[in-house]
Amino acid sequence: MNSRYAQQIKLSEFGVSGQEKLSNARVLCVGMGGLGSALSAYLAGAGVGTLGLVDDDCVDLSNLQRQTLYRSRQLGQNKAFAAAAELNALNPEIQIKVYSERLSQQNLNTMLADYDVIADGSDNFQTRYLLHDACFTLGKPYVYASASAYEGYCSLFHGQQAPCLRCIFPNPSTGSSCSDEGVLGVLPGILGLIQASEVIKWIVGLGETLAGRLLRVDVKTMRFKELTLTKDPSCPLCSQRSGITALFDPSHFALHFEELATFIKEHNALLIDVRNPEEHAAINIGGRLLPLHELPSRLDELEKQQTIVLYCKAGPRSIKALQLLQEAGFSSLRYLKGGVSELSQQQILQCEPQV
Ligand SMILES: [Zn+2]
């Protein structure tokens, strides 16, 4: 580790291991406006290893009052590209991926698949709910913030047992976004920094996040208020058990055998066989043996931030294990579609030395 991160590495409860967690982390920042500017700059500075930046908009003169990443010379440039240039200059040691397109139902799952934490800096209800609902379904932590006029909010939503955004605001309202109501320039900056703190704390496993709490910031009175969140029994997204099951679509997590080796290498993923010891002994593609029935009692052997790929004979057991891990708070999970039964002898032999 170089001196770039010295001031945080020397912190108690952070240390070299905290820095390593940051450098292995992948964070998607959706919306590169006022929130995204502050958020991404601090995440880049802190050394988050991979940052994805999503924005289809261009830098406008009216943005510069609050979107501090941009310079007057960048007017007219796509925000995600312009931001990447600045963040690269700030920290050339991290990877930055640019998505200069609007988040939609079509590109959503592909985009989210590669990230451990999703930070929402979008300024419209459609994107916010699309993103939140997808994170809920995929079990990814969703760091929410919004800022309008003199008032902003921040929270962290994660896990299907926890209250979700729709428990507080059930439906996208047709209300204003920050461009029509106006906003004091510092406000999205303050909220973006709170968001960045939440992302960093979540990755490092530090302190107490805003999960289960909604923070309200009033910049006019400079009062910070906190609301304890509870699950709404009539929430359109998370209330009924049946609703959740219907929302769980295993195809979001499926990995084909052809993608396996590259995926494991790129994500430094842990491969786990959830079959029984006899089945593992008979034929396996490597990885650790952790039978499905033992998983609930052996969760403490696994790291919640670790990317995990599960496999079994045909798929159902690894899907069960995936749901179990997801409910326990694991966020980066995949399973081998079709299981080992679909593999040829040659495929099995070829992957043994790699894992
Ligand atoms: Zn809910």
pLDDT at 336: 92
pLDDT at 149: 93
Mean pLDDT of the chain: 90
Contact (Cβ atoms closer than 8 angstroms) between residue 87 and residue 47? no
Tell me the CA distances in angstroms from 271 to 20, 110, 264, 286, 293, one per residue in order: 20, 21, 8, 8, 17
Cα(130) to centroid of ligand 1, in Å?
Answer: 14
46: phi then psi, degrees, rounded to nearest 5 = -75, -15
| pLDDT more than 70, % of the chain | 93
Cα(335) to centroid of ligand 1, in Å?
Answer: 27
b/e sequence 308-339, b meaning 16+ C-beta within 10 Å: bbbbbbebebbbbbbbbbbebebbbbbbbbeb
- Which one from 29, 154, 167, 178 is the annotated catalytic residue? 178
The pLDDT tens digits for 98-114 are 999 999 988 998 899 99
Cα(308) to centroid of ligand 1, in Å?
Answer: 27
pLDDT: is 246 or 7 the higher one?
7
d(CA 172, CA 312): 40
Mean pLDDT of 244-265: 76
Strands (DSSP E) found in 170-221: 213-218
Contact (Cβ atoms closer than 8 angstroms) between residue 40 and residue 69? yes
d(CA 225, CA 36): 23
Q: What number of other Cβ atoms are within 10 A of residue 101's Cβ?
A: 14
Residue 230: strand pairing partners: none
pTM of the model: 0.73
Cα(37) to centroid of ligand 1, in Å?
Answer: 29
> Up-side HSE of residue 66: CA atoms within 13 Å toward CB?
24
Cα(214) to centroid of ligand 1, in Å?
Answer: 14
Cα(240) to centroid of ligand 1, in Å?
Answer: 9
167 is catalytic: no
Cα(103) to centroid of ligand 1, in Å?
Answer: 22
Q: Which residues surround ligand 1, an ion (CB under 5 A)?
A: 164, 166-167, 235, 237-238
Planar angle of CA 117, 118, 123, nearest 5 degrees:
160
pLDDT: is 253 or 179 the higher one?
253
pLDDT at 246: 45
pLDDT at 245: 45
Tell me the CA distances in angstroms from 104 to 93, 115, 152, 165, one per residue in order: 30, 17, 25, 19
Q: Where are the alpha helices (DSSP H) in 256-330?
A: 257-267, 277-282, 316-327
| pLDDT value at 178 more than 70 | no
238 is catalytic: no
- Which one from 135, 167, 238, 312 is the annotated catalytic residue? 312
d(CA 52, CA 104): 16
